Every structure is written in C-alpha cells, then in structure tokens.
C-alpha cells in the first residue's frame, strides 16, 4: 500500500519548536519580526502574504505587510528595503514574487540583507546553499528533504533522480542532496527519456512547475516520490507536477496540497529564527 507522506505532523513539530523559541526570545527582550513586501496585481502573492500573517499571529511573531501600488517605482521599493535592512527590530524579509516586469527583480533581490533573507534568494545565501556554509537556505528544498526524513527514508547511498533544475527549487536541492551523500541524476527539458532514469531510481524529487510531468508510465512500485510542484488545475484546485494516478504505482508519495508546500511555510518561520541568531551573533550577542 502506498505511503502518503502528508506534512501536517512534520510542520506541527516545526511550529511547536518555533513557538517555544519565540517565547524564550520574548522573555529576553527580543521580539522576532517579519516584513513582507507585496506589489499589487498578483492575487496568488496577496493570498500567500495573508496566509503567512495568520501563521505569524499563531506563533507570536510580529508581522509587517508593506503593499505597493502596481506602478511603484524601483526606487520606492529599494528605499523601503534599505530602511528595513537598517531596522534592528526587523529580523526577516520576504519579497512576494513575481514582481511586475517594469521592476529589476535581480537588483531588488540583491538589495535585501542576506542576514534577513529568509527565502534564501540573495546571491550570498544561494552561495551558502551550494557550499554548506552558514546562511539562510531556501525553504522549499529544505522541506523536500525534511519531509522525506520525517517518514524514515535515508538519502545516503541512494540513487536519486531530480526532475527540474530551476533556480528556486531544483538547483539548490541538487546541492543539498549531494551533501546528504546521495547519488544524484538531474533530468530537465532536454532529457530525452526521463522514465529511463526514474525506473532505476530509489527516490525522485519533481520540481518543474508543470502539471503531470511525471505519469504512471515513468515510475515503478518501489519508488519514493517527492512532488514539489504547485500548479492551478481545473476548477482552481491545486495540483502537483506528478499525475494523481502515480500514487497507485509507487511506494510513497507526497500529496498536493498537504505535502511539501505545507512544510515549506513552517520552515520559513524556522529560517526567521535562524536569521535572529545570525543577527545577534553579528552584533556580538547570543540568546
């Protein structure tokens, strides 16, 4: 019988640890605070920003939401980021992406302090993700590995196939998997036969942003599948990058929704507390 690797239990464990740490920090005069920057025009970004506010409220985390008009100038965005970078009471920042085309996204991302970049998207944190040095790693790749381990699956010595090499999930996940001592094969749009690789894999991570990239004809009964895709399907329902009927033909799989995305949100707040520690240590303190 296929194991459905739901993330609620793993996420709840993270949230409980975060809530406990927030209470400890509050007792010592530190109130973890997160600032989200949103440009009007993308309903999905607005939804996710409000969802993070609700989670922050439950965890006792201070939350700021800065909303810009869709015609905002680049200077206005950069000025706010500079102010938040300099504010010692703001410990984490999130840019709700994508930004409008008239804004220079790479320049705006680069302007965020790496010590407050809880999404792990700045150049410094991307490099840290590659090298394994101290930094804030992107939450979705972390969630992929954390959820797999939560269900007792090992990566060391396993043949792992990673479908997707994007900057947000695939590329950082590739480097994290190597540090886990997995043997990693990367498949992408120019791979002629993805199934030839999946049929010999122990574990598959799928992160391409395209529905049903992996179907039941490409998998086998002993395969463990982590689906990191979130796409809008018919009637507005959320679907992954793996076809739904694959669940009947593999050993274990993450659901969408209720899988990687659920744990990703929790790990953003874990990253926020890591950011607090990094900033305190930079100022010569430790709590």
Length of the chain equals: 287
Task: Dig out the tokens for 141 from the structure.
Answer: 């790749």
The pTM of this model reads: 0.94
pLDDT one-digit tens code per residue, 230-247: 888 888 788 999 999 999
Q: Is residue 122 part of a domain?
A: no
Give the SS3 label for residue 79. helix
| Dist CA 228 CA 232 (whole Å) | 14
Q: Is residue 190 part of a domain?
A: yes
Which residues, 6+ apart, have CB-to-CB distance to 163 below 8 Å?
Answer: 187, 188, 194, 198, 204, 205, 206, 207, 208, 213, 214, 241
Q: Are residues 154 and 72 part of one domain?
A: no
Q: Are residues 184 and 256 part of one domain?
A: yes
Q: Is residue 237 part of a domain?
A: yes
Q: Is residue 84 part of a domain?
A: yes
| Dist CA 109 CA 126 (whole Å) | 12
Predicted pLDDT of residue 155: 98
Q: Which residue in 253, 265, 193, 260 sits closest to 222, CA to CA?
A: 253
Q: Is residue 18 part of a domain?
A: no
Which runs of E-coded beta strand occur in 108-171? 159-163
Q: Are residues 246 and 154 part of one domain?
A: yes
First vs last Cα of the chain: how many Å apart? Answer: 46
Which of the residues in the chain have pLDDT under 50? none
Binding residue positions: 164-166, 230
pLDDT one-digit tens code per residue, 123-149: 999 999 999 999 999 999 999 999 999
Q: Are residues 251 and 161 part of one domain?
A: yes
| Dist CA 265 CA 139 (whole Å) | 8
Q: Are residues 256 and 145 part of one domain?
A: yes
Q: Is residue 275 part of a domain?
A: no
Question: Structural domain of residue 61, as residue ranges?
Answer: 30-112
Count of the separate structural domains present in the chain: 2
Binding residue positions for NADP(+): 164-166, 230
């Amino acid at each position: 019988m296929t194991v459905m690797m739901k993330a609620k239990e793993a996420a709840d464990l993270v949230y409980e640890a975060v809530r406990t740490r927030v209470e400890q920090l509050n007792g010592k005069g530190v109130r973890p605070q997160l600032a989200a920057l949103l440009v009007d025009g993308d309903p999905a970004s607005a939804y996710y920003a409000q969802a993070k506010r609700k989670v922050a409220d439950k965890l006792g985390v201070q939350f700021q939401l800065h909303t810009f008009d869709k015609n905002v100038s680049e200077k206005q965005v950069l000025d706010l980021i500079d102010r938040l970078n300099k504010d010692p009471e703001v410990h984490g920042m999130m840019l709700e992406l994508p930004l409008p085309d008239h804004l220079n996204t790479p320049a705006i991302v680069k302007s965020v302090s790496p010590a407050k970049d809880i999404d792990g998207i700045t150049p410094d944190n991307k490099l840290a993700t590659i090298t394994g040095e101290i930094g804030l790693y992107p939450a979705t790749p972390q969630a992929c590995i954390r959820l797999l381990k939560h269900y007792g699956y090992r990566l060391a010595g396993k043949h792992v196939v990673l479908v997707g090499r994007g900057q947000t999930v695939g590329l950082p996940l590739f480097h994290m998997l190597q540090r886990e001592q997995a043997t990693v094969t990367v498949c992408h749009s120019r791979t002629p036969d993805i199934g030839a690789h999946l049929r010999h894999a122990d574990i598959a991570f799928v992160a391409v942003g395209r529905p049903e990239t992996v179907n039941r004809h490409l998998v086998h009964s002993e395969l463990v599948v982590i689906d990191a895709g979130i796409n809008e399907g018919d009637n507005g329902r959320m679907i992954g990058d793996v076809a739904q009927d694959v669940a009947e033909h593999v050993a274990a799989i993450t659901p969408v929704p209720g899988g990687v995305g659920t744990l990703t949100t929790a790990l953003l707040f874990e990253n926020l507390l890591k950011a607090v520690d990094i900033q305190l240590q930079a100022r010569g303190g430790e709590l």
